[in-house]
Amino acid sequence: MKNPSQHFDSLIPAKHFDIGVLPRRSPSDEQFIEPDDPAILAVTDFRREHPATVDDDRQIDDALADMVRLGVRALLVVRDQRVVGLITSYDIQGERPLQFLQSSTYTQHRDIRVEHIMTPWDGLLTVEWEHLQNARARDLLDVLEEAGVTHLLVVDSAEKNQAPIVRALVSKARLVRQLRSLRRAG
């Protein structure tokens, strides 16, 4: 029987490196899809990929820096392991921070927290995981455009009297890239 360590040149202690970072998501990692392909191919499924999250009390510029670092345009907002909302780069870079300052007692941009400008849970649109199973990519794009939203949560609420499980996230920008990239390549 071979020694398992023979498969590696050497093991390196982690302290040899300053820090470790997670890989960035890349648009090139996305698969190209046809409009008639299953919509499921266009979602970020949290059973296969860890969701990008932010605490609700995080400063908005820090949340935006997290988005840049992770290569995403939206973060699920969490409090005590519960999803309480969604914040996008559009929220942070748009009018919401200024509107918040004008309507609150806060005066400094640096004091604005994610919870102040996020879209709260009860303001989010969702689609059932079960319904997504039979939808096509074009259907998903139509829903996003008709609703006028950039992101859509996919929930699995199969268990009666239980909180729905946030199963996936749909990004309109990602979906358009996947469809547009295919057209360019073809």
What structural domains and CATH numbers belong to the chain? 34-185 (3.10.580.10)
Question: Distance of alpha carbon 7 from its chain centroid, rounded?
Answer: 37
Residue position matching structure tokens 């005590």: 80
- With beta carbons less than 8 A apart as the criterion, state whether 82 and 76 touch: no
The whole-angstrom separation of Cα 41 and Cα 36 is 11
Q: Give residue-wise pLDDT tens across range 50-102.
A: 999 999 999 999 999 999 999 999 999 999 989 999 999 999 999 999 999 99
Model pLDDT for residues 94-144, shown as the tens digit of each residue:
999 999 999 999 999 999 999 999 999 999 999 999 999 999 999 999 999
User: Residue with structure tokens 């979906």?
Assistant: 175
- Report which of 83, 92, 84, 86 is spatially closest to residue 60, judged by C-alpha positions: 92
What pTM was computed for the model? 0.79
